[in-house]
């Protein structure tokens, strides 16, 4: 028996989502009023369409494809939100559980029209730190002044707490967020014989406690072995007046990582400009 898809109610992405995007998980995709893609899951490449929407949750679906004499689609649940201060940045969570039957990809496959609950199958809330980002084409030319968090807009001496990804003999280095427009952080590893790396502050998110998560981006290949190219994440908090930072490759919570303690040198952007 052939089973056909029921027509879904009209689903539209908001106007600010329209454009060409790249990201740390989904790369080189285009969003229109109804389309999102191309995406590759289980070796199939499709442009997905907006299927169902509830608040910031969107269920998207692939075109029909034949399998075993039936017409199927892939469905994925995404929680999509633009950054509060920058419409050039979307941060998102995937709300569909990974399925080992589909290469551990976060999709469901169905020959009927599932509802939002059947597509958004994750039963536990994703930690706030584990967001992914999409950056709109040309975003780097429109990055707002002061995109780095205020407490990082200074010069610091830093000491490693662990050396997962750095030279074990390196005991200190500099972090500089004191540039004129507070858009970048510069990590000076010269004493570690690893050179200098600069990262743009893309967006920040406040965690449930005193923790802030900041996505960093660099398009430079300054060190081929640098695990923080192009996307990385800083997890930072103030502990009794001391700034504690963990630097993750990709999203916060990923690996490898380095932890450090930052101590201000006393120089701020205002002082640096005098």
Any idea which residue has 């027509």 for tokens?
A: 7
For the chain, list the domains and their CATH numbers: 15-141 (no CATH), 150-272 (2.40.128.120)
pLDDT score of 154: 84
Query: Using one digit for the tens of pLDDT, what is the confidence trace for 41-98?
Result: 988 999 999 999 999 999 999 999 998 888 999 999 999 999 988 899 999 999 999 9
Q: What is the rounded CA–CA span in Å between residue 195 and residue 183? A: 20
Count of alpha carbons within 13 Å of 111, Cβ hemisphere only? 9
- For 235, what's the count of Cα atoms within 13 Å in the CB-facing half-sphere? 22
> What pLDDT sits at residue 78?
97
Residue 261 — φ and ψ, nearest 5°? -110, 130
> What is residue 172's predicted lDDT score, i.e. its pLDDT?
60
Per-residue DSSP letter, 105: B
Give the start-end residues of each E strand in 228-273. 231-239, 242-249, 257-264
Distance CA 17, CA 88 (A): 9
Contacts of 162 (CB under 8 A, 6+ apart): 257, 258, 259
CA angle (77 as vertex; 108, 203 as ends), nearest 5: 140
Q: Where are the alpha helices (DSSP H) in 49-178?
A: 116-119
The answer to whether the CB of 86 falls within 8 A of the CB of 49 is: no
User: How many CB atoms lie under 10 A from the CB of residue 105?
Assistant: 20
Alpha carbons 158 and 189: distance in angstroms, whole number: 10
**So what's the pLDDT on residue 124?**
83
pLDDT score of 157: 78
pTM for the model: 0.83
φ, ψ at 128 (rounded to 5°): -55, -30
Please report the pLDDT score of residue 1 as a whole number.
Answer: 28
The pLDDT, as a whole number, for residue 165 is: 47
User: Taking a C-beta distance cutoff of 8 angstroms, is the pair 261, 157 a contact?
Assistant: no
pLDDT at residue 88, as a whole number: 96
Residues pairing with 201 in the sheet: 216
Q: If DSSP codes are grouped into helix, strand and coil, which group holds residue 71?
A: strand
Q: In the prediction, which pLDDT does 97 show? A: 95
Which positions of the chain have pLDDT values less than 70? 1-9, 160-173, 180, 189-195, 220-225, 256, 265-274
Is residue 223 within 8 Å of residue 197, measured between CB atoms? yes
Assigned token pair, 87: 């419409």
Instruction: Report the alpha-carbon distance of residue 10 to residue 84 in Å, rounded.
Output: 26
Q: By three-state DSSP, how is residue 270 classified?
A: helix
Tracing tokens 């510069």 back to the chain, one arrives at 186
């Amino acid at each position: 028996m052939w089973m056909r898809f029921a027509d879904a109610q009209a689903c539209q992405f908001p106007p600010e989502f329209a454009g060409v995007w790249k990201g740390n998980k989904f790369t080189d995709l285009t969003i229109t009023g109804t389309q999102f893609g191309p995406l590759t899951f289980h070796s199939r490449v499709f442009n997905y369409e907006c299927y169902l929407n509830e608040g910031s949750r969107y269920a998207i679906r692939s075109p029909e494809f034949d399998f075993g004499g039936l017409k199927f689609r892939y469905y994925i649940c995404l929680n999509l939100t633009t950054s509060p201060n920058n419409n050039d940045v979307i941060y998102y969570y995937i709300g569909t559980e990974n399925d080992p039957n589909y290469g551990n990809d976060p999709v469901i496959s169905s020959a009927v029209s599932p509802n939002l609950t059947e597509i958004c199958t994750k039963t536990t809330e994703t930690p706030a730190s584990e967001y992914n980002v999409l950056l709109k084409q040309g975003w780097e030319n429109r990055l707002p002044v002061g995109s780095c968090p205020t407490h990082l807009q200074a010069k610091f001496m830093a000491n490693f707490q662990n050396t997962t990804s750095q030279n074990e003999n390196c005991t200190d280095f500099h972090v500089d967020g004191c540039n004129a427009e507070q858009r970048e952080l510069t990590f000076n590893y010269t004493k570690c014989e690893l050179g200098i790396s600069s990262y743009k502050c893309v967006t920040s998110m406040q965690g449930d406690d005193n923790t802030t998560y900041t996505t960093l981006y660099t398009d430079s290949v300054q060190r081929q072995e640098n695990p923080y190219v192009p996307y990385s994440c800083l997890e930072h908090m103030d502990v009794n007046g001391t700034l504690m930072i963990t630097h993750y490759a990709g999203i916060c919570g990923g690996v490898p990582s380095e932890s450090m303690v930052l101590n201000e040198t006393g120089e701020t952007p205002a002082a640096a400009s005098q």
